[in-house]
Structure 1
């Protein structure tokens, strides 16, 4: 892991009430991410929030997209503002950047890369829901874009604990450093 905090950012991804309330470890994951955010801020590491969001009626979503098409049908008559609300336990501070994405990866359909490059960020630390969704997709794309990547394993969760375990223990280490929040905070 890059020790230089000057070019590091913590990404808090898909921690929206509409997303994380579906997970049984909701309180544990929000508590861990909140601790990671507090630690990052204390180290002068910027915290960027990534949310998934769409226009009313979700015109950005093709019915060919298996994951998002199901959401489009369920959310057809719901307020997009309500769906994009970040959980209060991990809410941004005034002035912190919120990035809206249109697909699973934090990079796809967003200005994340523009923000990271403008701020000189070369190392991203990933947190969020789900491990097999936004974390996996963002990690893969970030690796292809030559970012240094750290995954805080206990600041991510998945609906299937075995999938989370396999990704964090067997797949992610090929492209990222995988550590716990406690390991990160004890190294600084």
Structure 2
């Protein structure tokens, strides 16, 4: 699948810990392994901030409380990519400053440099990074696929509505198994 990249978004230790699902990481690992085997670049996206959090406004409801915690800065072990799906040497890790993978990051530069035109989205949470990234990527004219079971959300009904009703308006929606089978051909 030339011109395609798999995005693994916000699968960081503290975020995974807040969304317990014993099957999620092995399933996501299956998508990552399929991408690597097919030569599809895997791009990791993490949320991270400078020490002291000068890049978080107190008006930001999503991240404002995080600034008080001192978390999600370089070296914070809870902010590392979960070791079960960690990047290989040479795989790109993009750090973002807001919910969308594009906000405050160089993701667009990385994708354009690799001539990527189609994104396969995975991550935590469906109603957060996946939704925000999908909307922005669609506006940037990327082709999109969402791996429904490669995404996770604390609210199962919100996940269902997004993957079954909202996302199909702008993306193809598949399971990890369906996509892995297709990418391996």
Instruction: State TM-score, norm by structure 2.
Output: 0.95
Contact preservation (8 Å) 2:72, 2:79: no
**What is the aligned length?**
182
Residue 91 of structure 1 aligns with which residue? 86
1:12 to 8, 22, 30: 8
Alpha-carbon distance in 2 for matches of 1:131, 1:121: 22
The CA deviation string for residues 52-87 of structure 1, in whole angstroms up to 9 with x for no partner, is 0000111100011101112222x2377542243111
Structure 1: 5+ residue stretches without partners: none
Alpha-carbon distance in 1 for matches of 2:72, 2:45: 20
| Counterpart secondary structure, 1:89 | helix
Residue 143 of structure 2 aligns with which residue? 148
Q: For the aligned residues, what is the CA RMSD? A: 1.2
| Counterpart secondary structure, 1:6 | coil
Contact preservation (8 Å) 2:48, 2:72: no
> 1:6-155 to 2 correspondence within 5 Å?
6-25=2-21, 27-73=22-68, 75-76=69-70, 80-82=74-76, 83-155=78-150
Structure 2: 5+ residue stretches without partners: none
| Counterpart secondary structure, 2:123 | strand
Q: For residue 185 of structure 1, report the CA deviation from its aligned partner.
A: 2.0
Alpha-carbon distance in 2 for matches of 1:113, 1:157: 24
